């Protein structure tokens, strides 16, 4: 297996300079002056000692100096996971039925087991770290009080789980040689499960949804009974789950919201990979618990499944068993209340998408679509809210050992200058060139492990490891602004296998935004609470207006003579 470089510890002075440059457009003059003074004090007093501590810590590990804190930041989330950090992906079915997809995904798990999956490469040709791919053994987040844990199956599983009508159906997915069964075996299994008309009045997945410590207490109580321990192990270690349900009359956005926020609680939301299939719309989704893996890894797994030709594997009668919890009277009494409490929260979440069509127009070769879409988000934010707040742009750094994502701050003085010219319908090429160059420089810094956000977080963690006083710098207005995401944005590039995805905003009044270079144009998918309905309607209209102006700029109408 290729050896990845470890995440570097950036130069302290360079990080402080990057921080000041990136936070400046977000602050007024008074707050920026105070922020600059706080940086000077931090850089000369406490920061050098913290930098030395971080460098020493990094030198002691062959993993990432950030990975343990990264995992802990997810595992300590105490709110229901679909409303906090889980993600829902809309998968392109490519004409394949659910049985075909189940067989293909099991085939990818078999390939991983037999070492047949080569490490993917970045566009620059660097192999990625395969640590995230361990979920193909069978894995799950495990509820615990205070901080959850994450379990990767000690022995790779041969089974998958299907959630339907409140039960957990366990299916043998791999044969005795750890190869996936033929798609017909999975089709028969799905048909048998759908033919079972029984409904469990106490659905297996409900304990997930109180969230945090309450889920941990319930799960511990369930697991303490010998007759429940087996089901708990299945939920945690089976290869992946499939949730099958029927919800009529949902458009694509509503269907994605249903699979992401799970208002009907039909997903064991502590599982990294649950494939959700709506039999009414015949749409396929992937609900992801986000602790161990990122979207790039999931896209890679789905892409490998899409490449499976569907004709391989041994045909056999499906081996299916049905499972439910053994509950106390008190637990049975609490079950419907937990369901109602979560449903009341989840039904407030919305997803709305919009495509800005190219309509035959073109973008100059070599121009970053990623940057252009970020500029349109700034255009929409200024139009909707009248000011600019912080944006998080995720950048994959899995080419480092145990690398996850780095944070890019795409709002710059250069981008705002270009966006202002677009708002005035006077876009200038020189302003666009400067904005594109700055965005490219920030992406490059992130890709090489030089991002300011993660480095400053590392210094903060170094202070906690020393049990020393956390410097006032980290409590300053500038740093709080810099580390709070009003727009949390992410992309997986094109829509070849994953059409779009949804996730809850990371701040109470913010928006979660996926942006995708679709075949027909720029696709934006906005996730938000219902209280933002009016603002999101304006935001989407502004995206359309800004996109139209940008396309006209690139494709001007011929002048009339």
**Catalytic sites, residue numbers:** 290
Closest listed residue to residue 314, CA positions, set 144, 506, 407, 186: 186
d(CA 452, CA 463): 17
Residue 324 CA, distance from chain mean position: 30
For residue 105 the two structure tokens come to 């995904």
**Which alpha helices (H) appear in 358-497, and where do they start and end?**
369-385, 413-423, 429-447, 452-465, 477-482
Q: State the burial class of residue 324 (Cβ atoms within 10 Å of its Cβ: 0-12, 13-18, 19+).
A: middle
Instruction: Give SS3 for 520.
Output: coil
**Three-class secondary structure of residue 163 per DSSP:** strand
426's CB contacts (< 8 A; 6+ apart) are none
What is the rounded CA–CA span in Å between residue 42 and residue 68?
25
Whole-angstrom distance, CA of residue 524 vs CA of residue 527: 10
Token pair listed for 441 = 């420089």
**Distance, CA of 213 to chain centre:** 23
Q: In which residue are the tokens 């269907």 written? A: 255
Task: Spell out the residues 6+ positions from residue 534 whose beta carbon is closer than 8 angstroms to its own.
Answer: none
What CA–CA distance (Å, rounded) separates 320 from 161?
A: 9
Instruction: Look at strands 349-357 and 391-396 and give their pairing.
Output: unpaired
d(CA 414, CA 378) in angstroms, rounded, equals: 12
Query: Cβ(473)–Cβ(479) under 8 Å?
Result: yes
Separation between Cα atoms, residue 3 and residue 399, nearest integer Å: 10
Beta bridge partners of residue 172, listed in sequence order = 159
Please choose, from the candidates 400, 388, 402, 151, the residue with its C-alpha nearest in 3D space to the C-alpha of residue 271: 151
H or E stretch at 396: strand 391-396
Residue 504: name the closest of 346, 386, 390, 357 by CA. 346
Task: Give the span between the Cα atoms of 268 and 262, in whole angstroms.
Answer: 10
The residues, any chain, with a CB within 8 Å of residue 249's CB and separated by 6 or more, are: 280
Q: Give bridge partners of residue 408 from the DSSP assignment.
A: 393
Task: Let me know: does 168 contact 322? Beta carbons within 8 Å.
Answer: yes
């Amino acid at each position: 297996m290729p050896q990845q470089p470890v995440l570097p510890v950036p130069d302290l002075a360079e990080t402080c300079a990057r921080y000041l440059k990136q936070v400046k457009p977000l602050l007024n003059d008074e707050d920026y002056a105070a922020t600059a003074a706080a940086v000077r004090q931090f850089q000369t007093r406490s920061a050098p000692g913290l930098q030395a501590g971080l460098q020493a810590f990094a030198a002691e590990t062959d993993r990432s100096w950030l990975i343990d804190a990264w995992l802990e930041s997810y595992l300590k989330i105490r709110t229901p996971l679909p409303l906090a950090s889980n993600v829902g992906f809309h998968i392109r079915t490519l004409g394949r039925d659910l049985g075909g997809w189940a067989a293909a995904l099991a085939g990818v798990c078999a390939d991983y087991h037999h070492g047949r999956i080569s490490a993917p490469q970045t566009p620059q040709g660097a192999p990625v770290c395969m640590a995230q791919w361990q979920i193909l053994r069978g894995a799950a987040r495990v509820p615990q009080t205070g901080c959850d844990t994450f379990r990767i199956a000690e022995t790779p599983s041969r089974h998958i789980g299907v959630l339907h009508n409140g039960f957990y159906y366990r299916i043998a997915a791999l044969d005795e040689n750890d190869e996936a069964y033929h798609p017909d075996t999975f089709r028969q299994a799905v048909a048998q499960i759908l033919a079972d008309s029984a409904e469990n009045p106490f659905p297996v997945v409900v304990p997930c949804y109180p969230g945090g410590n309450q889920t941990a207490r319930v799960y511990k109580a369930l697991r303490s009974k010998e007759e429940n321990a087996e089901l708990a192990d299945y939920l945690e270690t089976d290869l992946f789950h499939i949730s099958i349900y029927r919800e009529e009359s949902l458009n694509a956005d509503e269907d994605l919201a249903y699979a992401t926020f799970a208002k009907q609680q039909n997903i064991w939301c502590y599982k990294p990979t649950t494939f959700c299939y709506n039999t009414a719309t015949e749409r396929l989704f992937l609900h992801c618990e986000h602790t161990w893996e990122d979207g790039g890894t999931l896209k890679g797994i789905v892409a490998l499944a899409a490449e499976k030709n569907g004709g391989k594997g041994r045909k056999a009668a499906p081996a299916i068993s049905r499972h439910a919890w053994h509950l106390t009277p008190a637990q049975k009494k609490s079950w419907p209340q937990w369901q109602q409490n979560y449903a009341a929260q989840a039904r407030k979440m919305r997803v709305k998408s919009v495509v800005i069509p190219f309509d035959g127009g073109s973008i100059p070769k070599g121009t970053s679509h990623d940057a252009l879409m970020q500029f349109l988000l700034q255009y929409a934010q200024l139009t909707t809210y009248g000011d600019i707040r912080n944006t998080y742009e995720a950048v994959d750094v899995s080419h480092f050992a145990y690398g996850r994502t780095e944070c890019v701050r795409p709002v710059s003085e250069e981008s705002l200058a270009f966006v202002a010219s677009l708002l005035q319908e006077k876009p200038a090429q020189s302003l666009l060139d400067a904005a594109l160059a700055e965005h490219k420089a920030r992406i490059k810094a992130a890709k090489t492990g030089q991002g300011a956000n993660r480095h400053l977080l590392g210094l903060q963690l170094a202070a906690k490891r020393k049990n020393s006083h956390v410097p006032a710098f980290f409590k300053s207005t500038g740093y709080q602004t810099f580390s709070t995401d009003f727009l949390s944005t992410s992309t997986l590039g094109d829509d070849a296998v994953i059409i779009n995805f949804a996730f809850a905003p990371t701040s109470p009044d913010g928006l979660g935004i996926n942006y995708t270079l679709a075949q027909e144009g720029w696709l934006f998918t906005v996730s938000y609470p219902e209280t933002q309905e009016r603002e999101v309607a304006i935001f989407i209209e502004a995206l359309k207006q800004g996109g139209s102006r940008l396309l006209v700029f690139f494709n001007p109408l011929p002048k009339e003579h």
